[in-house]
Amino acid sequence: MLIINADDWGRDYETTDRTLECIRLGTVSSVSAMTFMCDSERAAALAQERNIDAGLHLNLTTPFSAPGCPAQLRKRQGELAHYLLRQRFARGVFNPGLVRSFAYVVAAQRDEFLRLYGSEPGRIDGHHHMHLCSNVLLGKLLPAGILVRRNFSFQAEEKSLGNRLYRQVVDWLLARKHNVVDFLFALAPINPPGRLRRIVALAREYAVEVETHPIVPDEHWFLTGGEVFRWADGCPIAQGFTMGLKWHS
């Protein structure tokens, strides 16, 4: 069973509405919800009303856009974004000077998710995958035992040995305290088709999450124009993230 998860739920009206269209068609299993964004409130209400499986999309890099976002939270998140986006290896380096800012910004988003959705997030991933940065993981800022998104899965020819070893170490540390799926892939690139066929083949035997962004035109077309069902070739698309894991177990 394929778990197709849409990121950025609540980021803005268009992103939410395009994702909702896919959910109605049965091509998206679940969503990762952003807090303190301009459409977070409406998106949460829609998820509650339609029983949409939502996890927390931890945002450490894109400025909060909700009108009522506290100024102190904006400032602290800005510090984190400046650090994490300054150089490509920053996420792999633990910064002791930002320990309090990381803890504050992560806790604020968890609390806001609880306020909006009525419960603690049962799974967490990250905008730009920054939930896997050293300050979050080594700072133990993610609750033990919940589902947490792993690194992307790559074949040997797709990434260097050093890159793959680093990802394996992070995934190993992650799996010690959290639940993870067997494989994670991005929906894009849709071509070449052989790549997508390999994902479906794995999904017939393992728990596979496919990350998508319906706001991207090619991905929206793929999810709403029927192509996704031809690609799946009879492999069920999970109607909820945890439903996919239950099927796997």
pLDDT in tens, 30-65: 999 999 999 999 999 999 999 999 999 999 999 999
User: What would the mean pLDDT of 144-162 be, rounded to a whole number?
Assistant: 82
Confidence of residue 246 (pLDDT cuts 50, 70, 90): low
pTM of the predicted model as reported, rounded to 2 decimal places? 0.93
The yes-or-no verdict on residue 243 having pLDDT over 80 is no
In this predicted structure, the answer to whether residue 249 has a pLDDT above a threshold of 50 is no
Other CB atoms within 10 Å distance of the CB of residue 170:
18
How far, in Å, are 2, 125, 177, 237 from residue 133 at the CA level?
27, 11, 16, 30
Instruction: Report the C-alpha gap between 222 and 234 in whole angstroms.
Output: 16
- The predicted structure's pLDDT at residue 1: 82
Is a pLDDT exceeding 80 seen at residue 247? no
Contact assessment for residue 61 and residue 134, using Cβ atoms and an 8 Å cutoff: no
Say if residues 195 and 183 touch (Cβ distance below 8 Å): no
Please compute the mean of the pLDDT values over residues 162-188 and round it to a whole number: 89
Segment of 28-32, 167-171, 239-243 carrying the highest mean pLDDT: 28-32
Q: Which domains does the chain have, with CATH numbers?
A: 2-248 (3.20.20.370)
